[in-house]
Amino acid sequence: MTWMMRDQVLVEPSLSIASAELSGGGAKSIDVSPVFIVSTGRAGSQMIANALARHPRLCALHEPPPHLNAEAFVSWSRRGKLPSWRTRLISHRRDALEATTRRKRELMIRQIIGNGYVYVESSHFLSHLIPELSSAFGGRFVHLYRDGRHFVRSGLQRDWFTKTTLSQDLVAWIRRRYLVELGRTSKDHLLSPPPEFRTRFEKIAWLWVEINTVILDGLESIPDGRKFALPVEALSAGTLEGLLGFIGVSSDAPTVEAMLEVASRKPNRTPGRPTQPPPDRWSDREHQRFNEIAGRMMVRLGYTT
């Protein structure tokens, strides 16, 4: 299998992904272990990938196939958040999850590194696979996050947590049990909220907290020099320079300017006119309920409530 990337055919080299380095023309060698951008979704991950792709040393991809959504859901289920009988129905050992994650990414990462680029991937599904990605690839991680109130509004706008059919549920079970690509993946992203969260508003607020909790828990064992926090609201020339410095590539002014121009396009904007009110027009009850569910995580990530 080959991939076309930056007008070149990528070839498979013999490299150790975790320790590979590149140098050329007497330049200082750089760490090219892969960079994984983890988020809740609806936080600008596609926008960041598109922006980083403008850098001549980076190959930045957003949710490339083969997808890891089923692996992500199964990994999350191992945290004990599902009834035991449901967990047993889709049970996989962690080493099996790591093996299938490695199988789906290793060749592509090796080829991109061998062609002289740093591999960067953004996907909210990666958020549940931090231990597996770290073990398999020695990866570095960027935690991209967004104010939870705007995440809730976006999820409501996209009709998250509307009722699913029996056939959709069956397809989801097959996808998770056998780790195959089948049917729509959005159901894997939405996880499975506890029964005490009854409304769509409450479920989406819970989802924002849950995925950020998974990310922060997963990053606890990652050394400080291999993780980077980026609130999307703070995106600027300065934060992009900091991100490029973390990745280990140059941050000249024309490149950063081009990246900011790409970022301003917001490629995954919710289609159509907004049908959900912004947070400053929420009712007092909605603000209260959001703070009950997400207030601690908002503070933990540096937001005011």
Q: Which of 176, 51, 64, 209 is nearest to 126 (CA)?
A: 64
Higher pLDDT, residue 90 or 249: 249
Q: Which element (helix H / strand E) includes 227?
A: strand 227-231
Coil, helix or strand at residue 31: strand
Quote the CA–CA distance of 132 and 150 in Å, as a whole number.
30
User: Tokens 């009722």 correspond to what residue?
Assistant: 163
Burial class (CB within 10 angstroms; exposed 0-12, middle 13-18, buried 19+) of 183:
middle
Q: Which of 243, 40, 246, 33 is nearest to 127 (CA)?
A: 40
Identify any residues that bridge with 140 across adjacent strands, giving them in sequence order: 35
Q: Kindly give the interhelix angle for 166-178 and 69-77, rounded to the nearest 10 degrees.
A: 90
Return the percentage of the chain with pLDDT > 90, whole number. Answer: 70
Stretch 47-63: mean pLDDT: 96
Residue 184 has pLDDT above 90, yes or no: no
Quote the CA–CA distance of 64 and 70 in Å, as a whole number.
14
Contacts of 303 (CB under 8 A, 6+ apart): 147, 148
Q: Is residue 22 included in any domain, yes or no?
A: no
Domain count, the chain: 1
pLDDT in tens, 223-277: 999 999 999 999 999 999 999 999 999 999 999 999 999 999 877 666 666 789 9
Residue type, 302: G
Residue 194 has pLDDT above 80, yes or no: yes
Q: Is residue 14 included in any domain, yes or no?
A: no
Burial class (CB within 10 angstroms; exposed 0-12, middle 13-18, buried 19+) of 171:
middle
Identify any residues that bridge with 8 across adjacent strands, giving them in sequence order: 5
Domain that holds residue 183: 31-267+278-300
Token duo for residue 252 = 């000249």
Residue type, 228: F
Q: Is residue 18 included in any domain, yes or no?
A: no
Q: Is residue 2 included in any domain, yes or no?
A: no
Task: Give the pLDDT confidence score for residue 22 in this predicted structure.
Answer: 45
Return the percentage of the chain with pLDDT > 70, whole number. Answer: 84
Identify any residues that bridge with 37 across adjacent strands, giving them in sequence order: 122, 142
Q: Is residue 198 included in any domain, yes or no?
A: yes
Q: Residue 100 to residues 78, 132, 202: CA-CA distances in angstroms? A: 16, 10, 33
Q: Is residue 17 included in any domain, yes or no?
A: no
CATH no. for residue 111?
3.40.50.300
Q: Is residue 284 included in any domain, yes or no?
A: yes
Task: Give the pLDDT confidence score for residue 223 in this predicted structure.
Answer: 96
pLDDT in tens, 9-33: 344 444 445 545 444 444 445 567 9
Residue 1 has pLDDT above 60, yes or no: no
